[in-house]
Structure 1
Amino acid sequence: MTNKEIPKDYDHKNEEKWQKKWEDDEVYKFIGDGTRPRYIIDTPPPYPTGLLHMGHILNWAYMDFNARYRREKGMDVLFPQGWDCHGLPTEVKVEETHNIKKNDVTRAEFRDMCTELTSHNIEVMRGQMRSVGFSQDWSREYITMTPQYRKRTQLSFLKMYDQGLIYQGIHPVNWCPRCETAIAFAEVEYSDNTTFLNYVNFPPADVPDEVLANVEGNSYVRYADFPDKADASVPGVLIATTRPELMSACVAVVVHPDDERYNSLLGKYVEVPLSGQKVKIIADEEVDMEYGTGAVMICTFGDKTDVAWVNKYDLDVIEAISEQGKLTEAAGRYEGMELPDAKKQTIEDLKAEGYLTKQEEVDQNVGQCWRCKTPIEILVKKQWFVAVTKLIDESKKASNEMRWVPEHMESRLLNWADSMEWDWCISRQRLFATPIPVWYCKECGKVMLPDEDQLPIDPTVDKPKHACECGCTEFIGEEDVLDTWMDSSISPLSVADWPNPGWEDIFPSSIRPQGHDIIRTWAFYTTLRCLALTGQKPFDDIVINGMVFGEDGYKMSKSRGNVTGPEEVISEYGADPLRLWAANSVPGSDVAFDWKNIKHGYKFIRKFWNAFRFISMHIFDEESEKALSGDIEDIKAHLNPMDT
């Protein structure tokens, strides 16, 4: 290029031309021949919504800067692009778009609709990625809904099942009534709000000896076993509860063993108002004597503490809540009511019948589904689990072997690991996800697994190769699907092309860039799963990025109206000012988007361009070009890539 060919003004519309040329020339291609040091990026697979947001730009800019720097250092860089496709948001969007419910069509038809929408969104987002100038190797792209990726996910399931790290069991699980599926603890978000602490009188119940003789352990006594109703005017035990709608599921009352107010009542029974069952008063040191009245009802299930007490004292379970978040037949007169309506009606009835003595407004921290923000319930369900608690110590050790940037972010993973009390529930009652690869023998119920060469399978369509040990050849395919984190938690293995020959050469990954909001999910699950499958840590370094806030100082959200899309910036100023904005941020810290920074970046690019034009006046004259017209191959032959 001569000085005369250099445009006077910087024109960002030329970016697309050069981006395409560099991609066509395979400038960013990972060679993998072992002649240069390798640098492997475990790229986060975004959910294909069809639109990049500023958080994506920030994260991918960090990766891109790193990838380009490593290439300049002479390294063979693998910077792939992945897509985390499965999940409820796509199912909901398909239902809205086609004006259907998932059960209106066959499973296959609904999945095809989800696949079509996701494929379209991926294509749109590919173009957006390219427009920002990110330097991925698109030949190494992975998409979690493809047969190839589903095969990897299902293979990882089989291998962990064989190790005893995946099992099926009937346990209390977090349940979203809106999504009608089990969810993991890592998918539960907490919201602060206010509610009422209701003080309810539980009258004493003198249970006859002949009834007590038939009571096992700490079981409650059903009203049918003891029909004489206690007099509500007689003082009993005052219970403080925020969930009176669950009194029909009350199975015991618990107090602190050192609480002198209740010493004389231990082992005796009280009657649950409205529902009538008689429950035993027991003692446990976990009770907070200062909260409410110091007497707590154990119901199945109000929270995790109820679950712990039910297991500890072998209490009965009354299933009072349905999968749809309504009260069941066990709730008597409240059967079929939505939980908020049932709470309101229960309080009115307690007042009317003289059981409610007072109410206090209190702060409350409520667990809710991270997808739809619906309060979660705890239901007893048959589900599939990863035995997380078996791998906690190894996962923490592997975390300590990684370099965390910033260093203090590691505490989030370690604290989460220490708080794990339940195993990871990995089964979901949805459709658009990787199928759980198991069948059940129709005769004896035995779990049947596919051979590895059958993968990927859909057990609702495909059949086992072999008969069951009992001789039966009829099977029922598992209809539940896997948690989407089961897909993305093997991303470093997918990047390495596991389990194909040579995968060990590019595993572990060199670096994992990700947001701090998914440390307890993506980072933790990846560490745990890669340990289980390979015995190694998943990556050497992990770089944590912050969240992007709007100009008003709040996290960008449509509801606040403070969202700025990257396409707005690129159309007016080009990609480089946006990349400069990202370059000026600090890893691990939240970043505010500001149009002033974009405009300053644009001015800098123009000044840089003008400086280039000025310099070119002196290097692109005839004499300079003559001096530079030597054999370029001769020059290249004397260059060492590691010296650049």
Structure 2
Amino acid sequence: VLEARTAALEHLEGEGKVANVVEKEQEVPVSERGKNPVEIILLKEWYVRQTHMQDRLRELVDEVEFHPPRNRQFLLDWMDNISIDWPISRRRWYHTEIPVWYADGGSKVIVPPKGAYVQPWRQQPPAGSRVLDRDDRSFIGTWEDLGASLSDVVGEEKVFDTWMDSSNTNLFVSGLLEDDGRFERCFPTALRPQGKEIVRTWLYYTMLKSALLLDKPAFKHVWIDGLGMDPWGRKMSKSLGNGIDADSVLECGAGGRTGSWRIKGPDGSVALKANKIGSECFRLWKACDAQVGDDFHINPEEIEQKYFGVLTKVFNVARFASQFDPPEDLENVPNGLQPEDRWILAEHHKVMATAKAAWSELDIYTATQALKNFLTGVLPSHWLEMVKSRLYDEDEHAAWVLHRVVRDTLTAFSPVCPFFTHHITTTVYGTSCVDARAFPEHVDDALGVGASEGDNLRGLTADLTAFNSLVWSTKREQGIALNQPIEGMELPSSIEAFRPVLTAMHRLA
């Protein structure tokens, strides 16, 4: 641009057409990535009408459920500023070609048949193309009949704006023009997950195209997330060099290999590094710590410190379960379960109900927190400690409860850590929880939320966990090994039904 401006000035001076030169300070727009000056040049382009649709489009936007609801405003604010139609053509070397030829001095246009990919700048119209009047778009005849009589056939050299293609994504996945039955079932498309920085482009143009073509909202749900920031609060970008190499995250620990990924600091001298965590741990962190819709700081060392241990603990629970053969029938509850078994199933019932309700509302945070806390809390720290001796004694009831709880909880956990849960369930149960066609059924409705037995058992959780913690801390204070007897511990009357298992577990004297 600068060279062109200099050449233009030299040409005007050479022609003696410069009357006066005045130096002024001027704000010059520059491109975001290259920082090159932008020159505005008026040229003829292709447009899609949109200004006439704004009122109707707002009505359709109101039918969509946004997550979080406040981020709907990003879209509405953009729509408030629309004053011209959508320019859809670009003058670039590479993109989807605009499928049009011009003929007879531009008075006629030729369009290819549906589904044909063409490159008009280097090809003639294919068989089945139609010749239209450029002014009123009326059909004149076929290319086969009129081609020989048309003069000055010239292919369009411009390409589509990238969002002209991207705004088709929901139509494509829903089956438009390919599978009428699927399209009837799947449109409006269930969910659009995306970042807030492309609301004005990807989301808006997708909503616009569905409105123009079908007069329907493009989606049932729209999920708008924040931006990933580095630990110093800067937006991640190539120009700053503070982004994350996705391959290094995916490869970290994959297939038993060692690896690492890092984020560079502002002056290049500081780099925060993760050596153990890959994509599964990264997704778990995002689900648990980064609230949907807000910008989030990505600190690899913090993620590794907080969540590598979580997945390790869940893996150890599954590895412990793998020592005991899964029962052939994991669907029907056996008779004669012990109180501790009914208790953990009641806790499991509530966790699964919470996760199911949260997943139904696209509430990833609530679902993941409930499952994580159960898998790393009462299940391994309390119930497994209660029943270890029964499991080693080949108690079939304890094994049934263990495998049913582990299998179903990992299934509910699979949207967050699909590779992790797939590996475990395939190894232990021979089938992948990622392939589940429905959310796991509750074990026993009598243990549900609102059911008297279930509520009563869950009401004992605080006393049970408090008693266990008291015994363990007392043994540590007195220098008694956890597997040695202890005297003087008084069992609360509320958990009297658990006396046999707690006596054996703690070796109460």
TM-score, normalisation: structure 2 = 0.51
Please tell me whether residue 499 in structure 1 is matched to residue 177 in structure 2. yes
Match of 2:101 in 1: 439
Please tell me whether residue 528 in structure 1 is matched to residue 300 in structure 2. no
SS class of match (1:499): coil
| 1:273-316: CA deviation from partner (whole Å, max 9, x where unpaired) | xxxxxxxxxxxxxxxxxxxxxxxxxxxxxxxxxxxxxxxxxxxx
CA contact (8 A) 2:226 2:292 kept: yes
- Among 188, 193, 198, the alignment partner of 1:518 is 198
Higher strand share: 1
Q: Partner letter of residue 307 of structure 2?
A: G
Q: Partner letter of residue 603 of structure 1?
A: G
Please tell me whether residue 588 in structure 1 is matched to residue 360 in structure 2. no
Shift of the alpha carbon at 1:470?
11
CA contact (8 A) 1:527 1:538 kept: yes
> Given the superposition, is the C-alpha separation of residues 566 and 483 from structure 1 closer, same or farther in structure 2, using an over 3 Å criterion?
closer
Superposition pairs of residues 203-282 of structure 1, within 5 angstroms: none
CA contact (8 A) 2:391 2:399 kept: no
| 1:133-170: CA deviation from partner (whole Å, max 9, x where unpaired) | xxxxxxxxxxxxxxxxxxxxxxxxxxxxxxxxxxxxxx
Shift of the alpha carbon at 1:642?
7.3
- Among 34, 47, 64, the alignment partner of 1:402 is 64
Distance of 2:19 and 2:314 partners within structure 1: 71
- Among 537, 545, 548, the alignment partner of 2:225 is 545
Match of 1:31 in 2: none
Shift of the alpha carbon at 1:574?
3.6
TM-score, normalisation: structure 1 = 0.41
SS class of match (1:391): helix
Match of 1:198 in 2: none
Distance of 1:325 and 1:396 partners within structure 2: 43
SS class of match (1:576): helix
Shift of the alpha carbon at 1:567?
4.6
CA contact (8 A) 1:402 1:539 kept: yes
| 1:580-614: CA deviation from partner (whole Å, max 9, x where unpaired) | 21112111111001211322101222233445536
Shift of the alpha carbon at 1:371?
5.2
SS class of match (1:399): helix
Q: Partner letter of residue 581 of structure 1?
A: W
Aligned length: 296
Q: Partner letter of residue 505 of structure 1?
A: R
Match of 2:395 in 1: 623
Distance of 2:59 and 2:29 partners within structure 1: 30
Match of 1:270 in 2: none
Shift of the alpha carbon at 1:535?
1.3
Shift of the alpha carbon at 1:540?
1.1
Shift of the alpha carbon at 1:640?
8.2
Distance of 1:453 and 1:596 partners within structure 2: 52
Distance of 1:372 and 1:521 partners within structure 2: 20
Superposition pairs of residues 229-628 of structure 1, within 5 angstroms: 328=8, 332-333=12-13, 349-350=21-22, 364=27, 367-370=29-32, 372-441=34-103, 443-453=104-114, 455-460=116-121, 461-463=123-125, 464=129, 465-466=143-144, 471-472=149-150, 475-500=153-178, 501-502=180-181, 503-569=183-249, 570-571=252-253, 572-583=276-287, 584-594=289-299, 595-612=301-318, 613=320, 615=384, 617=388, 618-619=390-391, 622-624=394-396, 628=400
CA contact (8 A) 2:100 2:112 kept: no
> Given the superposition, is the C-alpha separation of residues 577 and 467 from structure 1 closer, same or farther in structure 2, using an over 3 Å criterion?
same
Give the stretch that moved more between structures: 399-408 or 610-619. 610-619
Distance of 2:392 and 2:11 partners within structure 1: 87
Distance of 1:547 and 1:346 partners within structure 2: 51
Higher relative contact order (CA 8 A, sep 6+): 1
Shift of the alpha carbon at 1:469?
9.6
Distance of 1:386 and 1:604 partners within structure 2: 51
CA contact (8 A) 1:551 1:562 kept: no
Match of 1:303 in 2: none
CA contact (8 A) 1:444 1:470 kept: no
> Given the superposition, is the C-alpha separation of residues 473 and 373 from structure 1 closer, same or farther in structure 2, using an over 3 Å criterion?
same
Distance of 1:326 and 1:487 partners within structure 2: 37
- Pairwise CA RMSD: 3.7
Match of 2:454 in 1: none
SS class of match (2:43): strand
Q: Partner letter of residue 605 of structure 1?
A: L
CA contact (8 A) 2:33 2:239 kept: no
Q: Partner letter of residue 587 of structure 1?
A: V
Superposition pairs of residues 42-61 of structure 1, within 5 angstroms: none
| 1:349-372: CA deviation from partner (whole Å, max 9, x where unpaired) | 43xxxxx7xx7x78x5x5444553
Distance of 1:346 and 1:543 partners within structure 2: 57
CA contact (8 A) 1:327 1:334 kept: no
> Given the superposition, is the C-alpha separation of residues 498 and 373 from structure 1 closer, same or farther in structure 2, using an over 3 Å criterion?
farther
Distance of 1:388 and 1:407 partners within structure 2: 25
CA contact (8 A) 1:438 1:447 kept: no
Shift of the alpha carbon at 1:446?
2.3
Distance of 2:398 and 2:295 partners within structure 1: 51
Unmatched 5+ stretches in structure 1: 1-176, 179-321, 336-344, 351-355, 633-638
SS class of match (1:332): helix
Distance of 2:14 and 2:294 partners within structure 1: 49
CA contact (8 A) 2:97 2:119 kept: yes
SS class of match (1:532): helix
Match of 1:146 in 2: none
> Given the superposition, is the C-alpha separation of residues 375 and 640 from structure 1 closer, same or farther in structure 2, using an over 3 Å criterion?
closer
Match of 1:233 in 2: none
| 1:301-346: CA deviation from partner (whole Å, max 9, x where unpaired) | xxxxxxxxxxxxxxxxxxxxx9x666648972289xxxxxxxxx99
